[in-house]
Amino acid sequence: MRARPTIRRFTVPALAVALGVLYGGRVRRCVLTWGANGLEANSRQPGDELLEDANGVTTRAISIQAPAASVWPWLAQIGPAPRGGAYTYDWIENLLGLNMHSTNRVLTEFQNPHVGDTIGFGSNVMGLERVETEHVLTWRSQDGNWVWSFVLQERDGATRLISRNRFRLSTRGARISLLIMEPASLVMERKMLLGIKQRAEHLARRAPAEGESPSVPPPSLGDPPMTSRAPLN
């Protein structure tokens, strides 16, 4: 009878270690590189030069059946209100006080981003560091420890959208926290990429009347199943 507490004491740590080993292998790789192929995940991307000594990197990607010109507007206006939101789960974003309200419209007043523009992501103030219209949009946090780049690669009328995050984590606690947050970040970023894809593909199919602001229908409730790889074009 007295052996049971001892078994429990050893079972819980052993289970935690086993889960950690499982996550640290193939599962973590899929979480960090959802949708990206090997070349995209392993090669340098525009914006990497802004944070060379990163010790946390994610590369996620999606194929969009639309030209880069239909994808770019949604990237250009990303940010908290009055900007266009982040096209993910607004209710989760707003529980964190981010004031995100994802729009289905192209907001003309935010279609000309410039280096030096800033947006707030909670306690993080992000400055726009690199702008190449319809190709690259890169944000960097004020403290220099986070760089977020969107890269568009168009081919045959379709576009590959790559999202690269680089983090510099100076403490062990920060690195442990990132490990815990990685699966949650996949859930949110996957939703964002799917939201941009839906909006861009609809925009490409619909030519707005003169003077009319393009819009798309509300995102559908049913997302495609989560996989570690998106089809390549």
Distance of CA 46 to the CA centre of its chain: 15
pLDDT band at 28 (very low <50, low <70, confident <90, very high): confident
pLDDT band at 170 (very low <50, low <70, confident <90, very high): confident
181 vs 184, higher pLDDT: 184
Residue-wise pLDDT tens digits, 97-149: 999 999 999 999 999 999 999 998 877 899 999 999 999 999 999 999 999 99
Contact (Cβ atoms closer than 8 angstroms) between residue 65 and residue 201: yes
**Residue 223's pLDDT is what?**
47
Q: Which domains does the chain have, with CATH numbers?
A: 33-205 (3.30.530.20)
For residues 167 and 52, give the distance between their C-alpha atoms in angstroms, rounded to a whole number: 10
Cα dihedral 97→100→101→105 (10° resolution): 170
Average pLDDT score over residue span 7-34? 64
Residue 44 is encoded by which pair of tokens? 């340098």
For residues 89 and 70, give the distance between their C-alpha atoms in angstroms, rounded to a whole number: 22
Give Rg (Cα) of the chain.
20
Helix (H, G, I), strand (E, B) or coil at 187: helix
Residue-wise pLDDT tens digits, 210-226: 455 555 555 443 444 44
36 vs 8, higher pLDDT: 36
**Residue 17's pLDDT is what?**
46
**Residue 68's pLDDT is what?**
98
Average pLDDT score over residue span 32-37? 96
